[in-house]
Structure 1
Amino acid sequence: MRTINYLTNDLGEFSLDYNRRQFIHHAGKGIFAATVLSEFPSLANTPQTGNSKTTPDDLKPIQLKPLEDPSEKKDGSLPNPLQPEKRIGYAIVGLGHLSLAQILPAFGSCKYSKPVALVSGDAAKAQTVAAQYGIPVKNIYNYQNFDEIKNNPEVDVVYIVLPNSMHAEFTIRAAKAGKHVLCEKPMATSVKDCERMIEACKTAGKQLMIAYRIQYEPHHKLVKDWVRNKEYGKVRLIEAFNAQNIGDPTQWRLKKSLSGGGSLPDIGLYCLNTARYLIGEEPVSVLATIYSTPNDPRFKEVEETVMFQMHFPNGTQVNSTTSYGVHESRRYRCYADKGGWFGLDPAFPYKGLKMEVSQARDAIEWKSNPSLEEKDQFALEMDHMSQCVRNNKKPFTPGEEGLQDQRIMDAIYESAHTGKIVKLETIKGLDIFRGTPPENK
């Protein structure tokens, strides 16, 4: 195996303080539990630990009587989490911004998942993070001794949160170590690497899931249902926009050897994948242009802006723009033929999604902003992976889903280079590359 010297700062990692509220929350649990048990003796005699085997009672939801009138908005279901020892254990590979700010905190909202190991090039930081999340020091690995994870039965799933060009290597190593893999998007930087990742997990008999959090989020699912059920008529046009004003020109996302590209594989992929998810079909052609501001040091190796169109078999046209060089905007709209449009603005952030609907009735345009309960997107995707591991089911967004996106991105780059429409393989049917649908929670 080739030797790689990894940066000890994990390409942008940072540490988080264990704040006062968290300390009070965790320290207070023991006092609260003791008080409750003294008030309810029957609870004190109930075993507080379980075994690793799941029983039907573990998944039986607790029911409480509603507090509000039936006319009011319904509360969501209770969390009903599994006992910690029965949850699926995750090793987080890479302790950068996404892992520390989103993924690790999301385990607090998970029902079936827990963090049990860390992989980092910065030993001191990894020890700090391990202490914050109760992970034993023995479960800290670096990029060189990563393969020893095969000897750790606590690790069921390896969650790869590394620069794009490293996804293939660590997916293959994880599969060879006998672990299931959850890999951040984009899946890889080439079709060949995507295929290698799929084959490695297939050979090892392990699940491979790509972390397309959008496809597990309630707002996007509702929009998908509206599109497919023709709630406002047939959707003829989808307009998607995902842009941000990227900063530090030395970061890995602006190095082609690590990222594989610029705005397209990073944030433009949300436009591409979300459109495929909403419609359910696969595009038959693409047309694209690329532009980068001359002499901008950020775009010496990767593109700044990509504008691309996708045409789908049912006649729907998708127009998308993605950019690294303008003020942040993350939205999409679906335009239907019966007097209505709908979508999300913002659509692609980790939280704070907002729906918008416009409909014409009786010569009046009615605009509304339906609201849904906000849920942690990373917890939803990790718990789906855990359920698939527990039940030996193919994830909803498996490796084949990531491979299809890579093929389409390659076609977008080809179109931008040649200035011509690029035709894609005709694929018939709905959700061809997707697996087991997530729970409706």
Structure 2
Amino acid sequence: MTHSQPQRREFLRYMGTLAALSAPAMQAAANEKDKIEFPPIEAKSEKPEKTEPPGDPWNERVGVAIVGVGRISVNEMLPAFAQSKHAKPVALVSGDRAKALKVAHQYNIPESAVLDYKDYDKLANMPEVQAVYIALPNSMHAEYTVRAARAGKHVLCEKPMANSVAECQQMIEACRKAKKKLMIAYRSQYEENDRTLVKMIRNKELGQLKEFISVNSQHMADPQHWRLKRALAGGGALPDVGLYCINAARFLSGEEPVEVIGNTYSTPGDPRFKEVEESCQFVLRFPSGFIASCTTGYASHKSQMFRLNGTTAWAELNPAYAYEGIRLKVSHQVDGKEHASEIQAENKNQFAAELDHFARCIQQDQDVHTPGEEGLQDQRIMEAIYTSARTHRPVKLAAPGRTRGPEPQDA
């Protein structure tokens, strides 16, 4: 008996180590056994039929509390859970209980898991909640991220990350101290057309990048909307829709700007723009000579596009920053003639894609692709643009540390 105990302990220790080291592989194997395949029925000339890989069993998915039951949560993120393979909604936090209960009933969330903001810290005692998705006005992001970290929850926070560099740093530090993941919801970086374009750029299919030209505008109508209140939004068109242009120029080029020039404008007497800018025009200069010229606004018909000019080809997304319907077009010389073609990327829900990346990183304890440092860098750039607009001078930017994690993998 005495002789066999050490052997048994060694065996159990070995098995425990093996299980820990191969957790992702074991999960993949578990999914593989649930995979469904069908024999081909169409000719080889046709596009191959694709059956989506199976999702995790429901009890193994990452439980997420939705914090803020506004438009983006109700219209986009909650429906995206139906296409998610690794996450599930398990709780709601809202100041409007009647509305939250209606949503809860649609997603089989028990009434006991519908919390008011004053009860937010009770999440600490809800083990079914492993993470939170924060979709609140910008000024509330920092507080609710810090409180989530203290409650032991991972955080997926909507963009813009916060209203100031100091708030961004506070959020990063709180999650670092709690050893919880902080991911900023830059959905475009998980969208299939953008991912396709990133791969083309890395493969030098456009040659050397030279210019990025982008417009992201929309027509706001309600002067009382929170996005037009500086205390809640931190600014006007720039942090809301202009941020997409900044982030796209950065993640597509793989560079960080060294100088910005900015200008803002508001129509005199327009009640919508008493506190925030109506429009913003800015230029970002990068170390390689790459230039991004962008326009963003709150008082023109919706326009969402960018063109990326390289030495051997150009590519554009139009619309570029939309929730759906994004189209990728590329043009280059073929046999002495200009050849433009549309590339049809796989149609995937970008909210589900970012949600699944977040959940997989939690399950496998991996770094997220768009961490807090990515949101912090955009905030630094926006503050520099505002400074340039106010002083009518270019503003230099220091090089940041690492801002982005490993490239996202297919779910």
TM-score surpassing 0.5?
Answer: yes
**1:351-366 counterparts in 2 under 5 A?**
351-366=324-339
Separation in structure 2 between the aligned mates of residue 76 and residue 242 of structure 1, nearest angstrom:
34
**RMSD (Å) for aligned C-alpha atoms:** 1.5
Conserved in 1, the CA contact under 8 Å of 2:210 and 2:310?
Answer: yes
Could you report, residue by residue, the CA deviation over 1:264-305 in whole angstroms, capped at 9, with x for unpaired residues? 000000000011110111111111111111111111100011
Separation in structure 1 between the aligned mates of residue 28 and residue 408 of structure 2, nearest angstrom:
19
CA 1:67–1:246: 2 relative to 1, 3 Å: farther
**1:252-267 counterparts in 2 under 5 A?**
252-267=226-241
Separation in structure 1 between the aligned mates of residue 27 and residue 55 of structure 2, nearest angstrom:
13
Conserved in 1, the CA contact under 8 Å of 2:196 and 2:345?
Answer: no
More deviation, 322-331/71-80: 71-80
Separation in structure 1 between the aligned mates of residue 400 and residue 101 of structure 2, nearest angstrom:
48
Q: Which residue of 2 aligns with 1:22?
A: none
Name the aligned partner's letter for residue 81 of structure 1. G
Q: Which residue of 1 aligns with 2:154?
A: 180
Conserved in 1, the CA contact under 8 Å of 2:62 and 2:86?
Answer: yes
Name the aligned partner's letter for residue 355 of structure 1. L
Task: Select which of 367, 382, 387 maps to 1:409.
Answer: 382
Separation in structure 2 between the aligned mates of residue 120 and residue 69 of structure 1, nearest angstrom:
52
Equivalent residues, number: 385
Q: Which residue of 2 aligns with 1:212?
A: 186
**1:157-172 counterparts in 2 under 5 A?**
157-172=131-146
Conserved in 1, the CA contact under 8 Å of 2:283 and 2:291?
Answer: yes
Task: Select which of 113, 116, 123 maps to 2:90.
Answer: 116
**1:64-213 counterparts in 2 under 5 A?**
64-213=38-187
Matched position secondary structure for 2:118: coil
Unaligned runs of at least 5 residues, structure 1: 1-52
The answer to whether 1:418 aligns with 2:388 is: no
Matched position secondary structure for 2:384: helix
Q: Which residue of 2 aligns with 1:34?
A: none
Q: Which residue of 2 aligns with 1:329?
A: 303
- Fraction of identical pairs, as percent: 50
Matched position secondary structure for 1:91: strand
Matched position secondary structure for 2:198: helix
The answer to whether 1:395 aligns with 2:368 is: yes
Q: Which residue of 2 aligns with 1:42?
A: none
Normalising by structure 2, what TM-score? 0.91
Name the aligned partner's letter for residue 246 of structure 1. M
Separation in structure 2 between the aligned mates of residue 374 and residue 361 of structure 1, nearest angstrom:
28
| CA positional deviation for 1:439 | 1.1
Name the aligned partner's letter for residue 422 of structure 1. V
Q: Which residue of 1 aligns with 2:268?
A: 294
Normalising by structure 1, what TM-score? 0.85
The answer to whether 1:369 aligns with 2:342 is: yes
Q: Which residue of 2 aligns with 1:344?
A: 317
Separation in structure 1 between the aligned mates of residue 387 and residue 41 of structure 2, nearest angstrom:
58
Conserved in 2, the CA contact under 8 Å of 1:223 and 1:343?
Answer: no
The answer to whether 1:235 aligns with 2:235 is: no
Separation in structure 2 between the aligned mates of residue 233 and residue 166 of structure 1, nearest angstrom:
42
Q: Which residue of 2 aligns with 1:381?
A: 354
Could you report, residue by residue, the CA deviation over 1:26-75 in whole angstroms, capped at 9, with x for unpaired residues? xxxxxxxxxxxxxxxxxxxxxxxxxxx97443222444334333333344
CA 1:315–1:69: 2 relative to 1, 3 Å: farther
More deviation, 369-378/170-179: 369-378
Separation in structure 1 between the aligned mates of residue 95 and residue 400 of structure 2, nearest angstrom:
42
Name the aligned partner's letter for residue 29 of structure 2. D
Separation in structure 2 between the aligned mates of residue 329 and residue 80 of structure 1, nearest angstrom:
37
Separation in structure 2 between the aligned mates of residue 67 and residue 343 of structure 1, nearest angstrom:
36
The answer to whether 1:438 aligns with 2:411 is: no
Separation in structure 2 between the aligned mates of residue 209 and residue 76 of structure 1, nearest angstrom:
30
| CA positional deviation for 1:438 | 1.1
CA 1:427–1:208: 2 relative to 1, 3 Å: closer
Separation in structure 1 between the aligned mates of residue 178 and residue 399 of structure 2, nearest angstrom:
31
Separation in structure 1 between the aligned mates of residue 269 and residue 334 of structure 2, nearest angstrom:
51
Conserved in 2, the CA contact under 8 Å of 1:76 and 1:373?
Answer: no
More deviation, 417-426/147-156: 417-426
